[in-house]
């Protein structure tokens, strides 16, 4: 799919994998709408790459619609990357045998609401807009990439909420692709492994911690780079024969229980 001049929405686009994806899409000639809650970083990035910023809470359908309408005003909307998400860790039961110490359902619902429901809500609204665009050669109108995690398959101790949300995104891929095939919209899912982001901090202790995290990576023995994930996202968007796939980008890691 030729993306030059086409509009892409990248949720969670102000940092991490989303930022790297926004940069690579812009470098390929796409017009990028950075959709994020981080206003300062999002605006700065949008200015740098010649795109636009829209402050969006992915749990708010009205804000999603506003972002999609903004993207439509910038050109033909053909791409959505759902990268926004949060994590939360807690074991299912506490150590004291009380119901009160069991997993906090407020957080379970919040993680599902942002990571899974937010991704589907954005996909259904963006796909509706894409369905009204003029098709390219071969009938293609657009493409969606949802970001999941290897935790969807190898969830660790304490990751019940996060793994549930990311497993839901895996399950979403095929039926969503089947639903949208009728209007020429492809859907793929990218599952990152351990990615080197600022969350791990800096300095000697940080490097030792990341080295420990890398012990189960087959090769190369390191954390992944956001740019490596972004390149796979861009490939899924631009390769017109990529559809309904879930792709692990993880150096061959299989996560241990803890």
| Distance, CA of 71 to CA of 55 (rounded, Å) | 13
Q: Give the catalytic positions in this structure.
A: 162
Please provide the DSSP assignment of 65-109 as one string.
HHHHHHHHHTS-EEEEEE---------SS-SS--GGGS--HHHHH
Q: Which residue has the tokens 């982001």?
A: 197
Q: Please state, in angstroms and rounded to a whole number, the distance separating the CA atoms of residues 80 and 103.
A: 33
How far apart are alpha carbons 2 and 4 in whole angstroms? 6
Nearest to 181, CA basis, from 126, 115, 131? 131
Torsion angles phi and psi, residue 121, rounded to 5: -60, -45
Token pair listed for 117: 């429901």
d(CA 156, CA 224): 19
39: left (phi over 0), alpha (psi -120 to 50) or beta: alpha
């Amino acid at each position: 799919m030729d993306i030059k001049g086409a509009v892409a929405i990248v949720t969670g686009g102000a940092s991490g994998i989303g930022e790297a994806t926004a940069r690579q899409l812009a470098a390929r000639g796409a017009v990028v709408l950075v959709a994020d809650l981080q206003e300062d970083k999002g605006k700065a990035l949008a200015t740098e790459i010649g795109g636009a910023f829209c402050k969006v809470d992915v749990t708010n359908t009205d804000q999603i619609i506003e972002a999609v309408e903004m993207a439509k005003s910038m050109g033909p909307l053909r791409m959505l990357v759902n990268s926004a998400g949060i994590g939360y860790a807690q074991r299912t039961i506490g150590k004291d045998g009380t119901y009160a110490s069991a997993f906090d359902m407020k957080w379970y619902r919040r993680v599902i609401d942002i990571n899974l429901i937010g991704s589907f809500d954005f996909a259904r609204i963006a796909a509706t807009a894409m369905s009204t665009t003029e098709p390219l050669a071969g009938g293609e109108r657009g493409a969606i990439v949802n970001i999941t995690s290897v935790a969807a398959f190898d969830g660790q101790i304490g990751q019940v909420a996060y793994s549930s949300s990311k497993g839901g995104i895996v399950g979403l891929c095929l039926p969503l692709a089947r639903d949208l095939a009728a209007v020429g919209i492809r859907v793929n899912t990218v599952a990152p492994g351990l990615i080197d982001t600022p969350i791990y901090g800096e300095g000697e202790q940080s490097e030792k911690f990341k080295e420990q995290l890398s012990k189960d990576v087959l090769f190369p023995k390191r954390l992944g780079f956001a740019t490596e994930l972004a390149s796979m996202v861009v490939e899924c968007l631009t390769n017109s024969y990529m559809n309904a796939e879930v792709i692990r980008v993880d150096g061959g890691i299989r996560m241990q229980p803890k």
